[in-house]
Amino acid sequence: MKTLYLSTAEEDLKIGAAIIRTGGLVAFPTETVYGLGGNALDPEASKKIYAAKGRPSDNPLIVHISEISQIEGLVAGFPENAKKLADAIWPGPMTMVLKKKPAVPDETTGGLDTVAVRMPASPAALRLISLAKVPIAAPSANLSGHPSPTRWQHVKEDLDGRADAVIMGEPCVGGIESTVIDMTGELPQILRPGLITPERVTQVLGVPCDYDPAIMGRPDPGLIPKAPGMKYRHYAPKAEMRLFSGDKEAVERTVRETAEALRLEGKTVSVIMYDDSRDAAERLFDDLRRSDIEGVDVILAAALPEGESVAFSVMNRMLKSAGYNIQQV
Ligand code: TXA
Ligand code: MG
């Protein structure tokens, strides 16, 4: 298929919305990463999404809405705490897992009896959903296994010829995918870490919020993540990636020395270091993709300091990218 490239102007968003309504796939910007969208209530559209990404079909999609009232058509119950979080945080980088209504096809939820719902903050995304007049199922708009796209050019690299249209919006400022929170239990639980932190959830709800223990460290065969997507190796650059953690100066020195040694061996190297965790979130996936385009052999990256929630969320991605290759210096 020939992919249509659209702007965020109203006329173009109308074209995108018509494609969604007639069962096609449209990639669009959100504040976190670009998504590959299709009609969430159409099982054939969801099947197309899996095929376009090369994604395992047991990994459920996130359903995007543009108004809180739309959630009533998707979920079997909207608990008080979920309402409070929606009011406080949406539109924003938070996805809530709730019991689904039968109207949501199994193809969209990977056969689960729950559905993940999110209201994104990007104006183009909100307008597209509202014009489509249907909720939009959208995973990140990358080929399965690749880093998520934070620019429309990344979407083009992965999905040109595989999506009906791509909306060429702004680069994403969030940079890592939304926080996924399971709201089906007694207490909220974070299944995928993101920019919405457990502290923020506790601040809104006044109850404790922890992480799914299966996402806390290296993958453990005895612990299966509740978000099926968290069990896959993601974000893998073509280059070998090595992480270094420890005192800032020691890390900088080790990275410099390692880079010199590798270059003497004739290897090309790129170095990734961030000022803070927000900056890291915004730039990480773009940096990984750029290293691949430049064809570097090895990426050397400074780990983010422990103890802060957004840093933990970014490190979750960096550790996967590096295949858990981390060295204490
Ligand atoms: O920021 C984002 O969330 C982006 C943008 C496009 O909105 N979307 C995104 O989608 O990252 P995706 O498909 O790449 O990741 C969805 C994650 C996966 O880890 C999936 O397993 C989990 O959400 N998920 C979806 N539905 C779920 C459910 N019913 N129960 C548990 N986990 C679920
Ligand atoms: Mg993804």
Span from the CA of 141 to the centroid of ligand 1 (angstroms): 12
Which pLDDT value is given to residue 56?
Answer: 85
Residue 177, ligand 1, Cβ within 6 A: yes
Which pLDDT value is given to residue 13?
Answer: 98
Closest-CA residue, ligand 1 atom 30, reads 227
How far is residue 309 CA from its own chain's centroid?
Answer: 16
Q: Which residue has the tokens 């919305």?
A: 17
Report the distance separating Cα 181 and Cα 201, nearest Å: 9
Nearest ligand 1 atom, CA 177:
1
Which pLDDT value is given to residue 321?
Answer: 93
pLDDT digits 0-9 by tens, 176-220: 999 999 999 999 999 999 999 999 999 999 999 999 999 998 888
pLDDT digits 0-9 by tens, 97-124: 999 999 999 999 999 999 999 999 999 9
Which pLDDT value is given to residue 221?
Answer: 86
Helix axes 198-205, 80-89, angle to 10 degrees: 110
Cis upstream peptide for 91 (omega within 30°): yes
Amino acid 264 reads: L
Residue 150, ligand 1, Cβ within 6 A: no
Span from the CA of 148 to the centroid of ligand 2 (angstroms): 6
Span from the CA of 72 to the centroid of ligand 2 (angstroms): 25
Residue 322, ligand 1, Cβ within 6 A: no
For the stretch 234-244, what's the b/e string if a residue is b when 16 or more beta carbons lie within 10 angstroms of its beta carbon? Answer: bbbbebebbbb
How far is the first Cα of the chain from the last one, in angstroms, to the nearest whole number? 50
Residue 316, ligand 1, Cβ within 6 A: no
The model's pTM is: 0.97
Nearest ligand 1 atom, CA 32:
1
Q: Strands, E, within 204-320: which ranges?
A: 210-211, 240-245, 269-272, 298-302
Which pLDDT value is given to residue 236?
Answer: 82
Burial class (CB in 10 A: 0-12, 13-18, 19+), 233: exposed
* Residue 4: its H or E element: strand 4-6
How wide is the angle at C-alpha 38 spanned by C-alphas 158 and 290, nearest 5°? 20
Span from the CA of 142 to the centroid of ligand 2 (angstroms): 7
Ligand nearest to the CA of 224: 1
Residue 120, ligand 1, Cβ within 6 A: yes
Residue 60, ligand 1, Cβ within 6 A: yes
Report the distance separating Cα 106 and Cα 114, nearest Å: 10
Span from the CA of 39 to the centroid of ligand 2 (angstroms): 18
* Sheet containing 4-6: order of strands: 4-6, 165-167, 26-28, 35-39, 136-137, 62-64, 114-118, 94-99, 179-182, 189-192, 210-211
Ligand nearest to the CA of 93: 1
Residue 169, ligand 1, Cβ within 6 A: no
Which pLDDT value is given to residue 180?
Answer: 98
Residue 143, ligand 1, Cβ within 6 A: no
Mean pLDDT, contiguous 10-residue spans, the chain (329 residues) = 98 98 98 98 98 91 98 97 98 98 97 98 98 98 94 98 98 98 97 98 98 91 91 83 96 97 97 96 97 95 95 96 95
* Residue 35: its H or E element: strand 35-39
Nearest to 293 by CA among 89, 154, 107, 143: 154
Q: What is the bridge-based pairing of β-strands 269-272 and 114-118?
A: unpaired
Report the distance separating Cα 47 and Cα 3, nearest Å: 18
Residue 149, ligand 1, Cβ within 6 A: no
Report the distance separating Cα 144 and Cα 162, nearest Å: 13
Ligand nearest to the CA of 31: 1
Ligand nearest to the CA of 228: 1
Residue 61, ligand 1, Cβ within 6 A: yes
Ligand nearest to the CA of 95: 1
The pLDDT mean for the chain works out to 96
What is the signed CA dihedral for 217, 141, 196, 326, rounded to 10 degrees?
30
Closest-CA residue, ligand 1 atom 21, reads 229
Nearest ligand 1 atom, CA 194:
1
